[in-house]
Structure formats: C-alpha cells, structure tokens
Amino acid sequence: MPDRQAVIDRKDLGALFTLLADEGYQTIGPKPYDGAIVYAPISSPEELPKGIGDEEEGGHYRLTQRGDAKLFGHTKPVQGLKAHLYPARQKLWSAEKAGHGFRVVKDAAPQPRYAFIGVRACELSAMLVQDRVFEGGPYVDKGYAERRKNCLIVLVTCDHAGNACFCASQGTGPDASEGYDLKLAEVVDGSRHVFVTEAGSDKGRAILSKLSKQDAADGDVKAAAANLEAAAKGQKRAMIAGVAELLAAKLESPHWEDVAKRCMSCGNCTMVCPTCFCSTMEDATDLSGLKAERTRKWDSCFSIDYSYIHGGPVRNTAGARYRQWMTHKLSHWVEQFGVSGCVGCGRCIIWCPVGIDITAEAKAILKGA
C-alpha cells in the first residue's frame, strides 16, 4: 500500500527548503542560469524557474515562457545530478617528497549532504544505474557511496514530455516507483497551486510529517495522473525494443562509418549523459617538484587518448569511438551491470552539436540489418 497522498500548498513549499536546511542538507534544485536551467544550490522556491519551460530538439535548446506560475514546468536541467554525486574533478590525495621516497596524504574532508529537489524520474533512474556501477561490484567507490547515502531525493513528476525524451520506451519514467524520499506532482488549476506529495522512505515520511499539508482532493490526484499520462504519451522518440541484442550482433555494421561522417567526437554526449562514468587520472607536481597531487576527472570514450596504449590508440576512427559509446550504453552495459545504461533523458540528442539521435541511429542499424 502506498502512503496516502497529501497536498502541500505552493505557499507552504518554502517550509520544505527551510526544514531540509535545518536538518543539515544543502538544497540543490533547478534554477535558470545563463539561458538554461541547471541544478544549483538554491535556498527557496523563489529561485525555481517559475513559469519557465524549455524547448529541445537535436542540437537545440532554448528556454520559453510558459505563461503560468508552475515552478517545475520545464522538462529537465541541461545536466543531471551526476556532477554532484560524482564530481567532474575529485582530488584523491596529495603526496610529498620524503627522503628518497614520498609520503601520501589523504584529505578526509566530510562528504556533502545534498537534498535534491525537483529530481525527474529519468535522473533517479540514472542514479540507480550509477549505484550499480560504483557500488554493485567487488570494488566500491567510497566517495560516491557516501555522497549517495547522505542524499535526500525530492522527486517531481513530469507534466509533459520534451521533444528529446524517450524514458517511456526505456522503462525509466516519467513515473518512479522507488528510490525517492518524497514524490511531488505539481498541480495548477486556476488559482489552486498544490503539490500532491507522497513519501517513499522513512526519511521522507519524517520530513513530510513536519510539513503543513492537507489530504489530497480527488481532483488533485486525477490532475497529477493526467499530467503523468501526458508526459508518457507525448513522447515523440522511442528506443527500439531489443536494442541490446541488436547492437551486440552489429559491431561490424557499415552504419558506424555513416555516423562517423557526422560525429565530431566532441564528447558532449558523454558529459551530459547522467550515467556515463568514465574517468581518468591527472597526476601533477607543483613548481618545486616536492608536492604532487592526484585528481580523478571525467573522461570521454570519444577522445583519442582514452584507448591509447603504446603503439597508438585502439580506437583510431570516429566510427569505432561512436560504436564504443553506443554499444556500451545500450548493450554491453546490460552484460556488465544488469540494466541498460540509457535512461532515455535525451540529453545526448539535445547537446550533440550536429543533432545525432541515438534512437534514430538504433533504428538505422536495425533497418540495415
């Protein structure tokens, strides 16, 4: 039995932010910034993108005015929450010369406690995917595990689909059934502006119990359900069924060369993908040569260096690199981690400078079969 649904009035939403801050969380949510919506530290609902929507297509992204008061009327921020749980640059340790050798010094800084507000189902799915990557194997990424354990997730369901969205075909949205602490559905009807709220965890229940709320009216629940249905049915893109098996069998498809003619190997898709996890190490010394540091930073399978071994890179051609990314994401990932690496957020389509569409490439490979 799911918890009985309550509604929080728009004017009482600020109390959620205050409460989370009082409990020691850093509140992170969507915020308009430089013509885009990004996840950033925010301290009240007033910083949310009120009345702002977004327009997305292959290689295209613009903010729009919705003409209403919705706070979560956009589809998704330009980047997921990966950057918070798995920072793009992480200092691992520093070392100092000592005698003929060196001494390693680890900074034991405490990991942040984030409360993510406005998380979409696709982002939550991406977190569950990265949990498998960083915590599911014999070796656990301790920093990730701690940040993840510390975080609190306030999911907000979608009320419409973006043009690049295809979560419905990946089974990763637009609704979520687990993994969140609180789930909110924003309902605006004339002057009524409420959030249909349910808790998904003990942490969430404890928070919800402290918030001012009423029982949800039938109309609110119906409106929330209708919004979700519109978000699912409005999706213009879909990933083909059976893509994992298809790609595993099509490593030698001539279509990879066709993609290579368009792909610029820029790596944007890997940077905005909420599940891409590749990293590299950067080792450096200071000018004295007495102190060294190791930093782990995001890397992309689209770079030539990525596959470099003595004698040259393994993946010399753009086609081989695109194949690596797409087959890893949609096929090998399933073998490695038991789920697809794609949550259907469509960011790789939006932020590809030439608008390469992973769903269309999958179809083309199927057709060429």
Residues lying near another protein in the complex (CB under 8 A)? 92-93, 95, 97, 100-104, 106, 133-134, 137-139, 141-142, 251-252, 277-281, 283-285, 289, 292, 299, 301, 306-310, 314-317, 320, 324, 327-328, 331-332, 335-336
CB of 71 to another protein, least distance (A): 36
Non-local (6+) Cβ contacts of 256 within 8 A are 319, 320, 322, 323
Q: Which is nearer to another protein, 62 or 106 (CB)?
A: 106
Under 8 Å between Cβ of 281 and 77:
no
Residues of the chain by 3-state class (helix, strand, coil), percent to 5: 35, 25, 40
Q: Which is nearer to another protein, 189 or 283 (CB)?
A: 283
Q: Which is nearer to another protein, 51 or 313 (CB)?
A: 313
CB of 137 to another protein, least distance (A): 6
Q: Which is nearer to another protein, 92 or 128 (CB)?
A: 92
Q: Which is nearer to another protein, 26 or 295 (CB)?
A: 295
CB of 76 to another protein, least distance (A): 24
Question: What is the DSSP annotation of 197-258?
Answer: EEE-SHHHHHHHHTS--EEPPHHHHHHHHHHHHHHHHT----PPTTHHHHHHH-TT-THHHH
CB of 143 to another protein, least distance (A): 9
Q: Is residue 18 within a helix (H) or strand (E), and if so which, with residue range?
A: helix 13-22
CA distance 301 to 279: 9
CB of 331 to another protein, least distance (A): 8
Q: Which is nearer to another protein, 14 or 137 (CB)?
A: 137
Query: Which residue(s) pair with 153 in the sheet?
Result: 116
CB of 284 to another protein, least distance (A): 6
Q: What is the DSSP letter of 365?
A: H
Distant-in-sequence contacts of 179-182, Cβ < 8 A, 24+ apart: 179/124, 179/127, 179/128, 179/153, 180/119, 180/124, 180/153, 180/154, 180/155, 180/204, 181/152, 181/153, 181/154, 181/207, 182/153, 182/154, 182/155, 182/207, 182/208
CB of 14 to another protein, least distance (A): 39
Q: Which is nearer to another protein, 46 or 335 (CB)?
A: 335
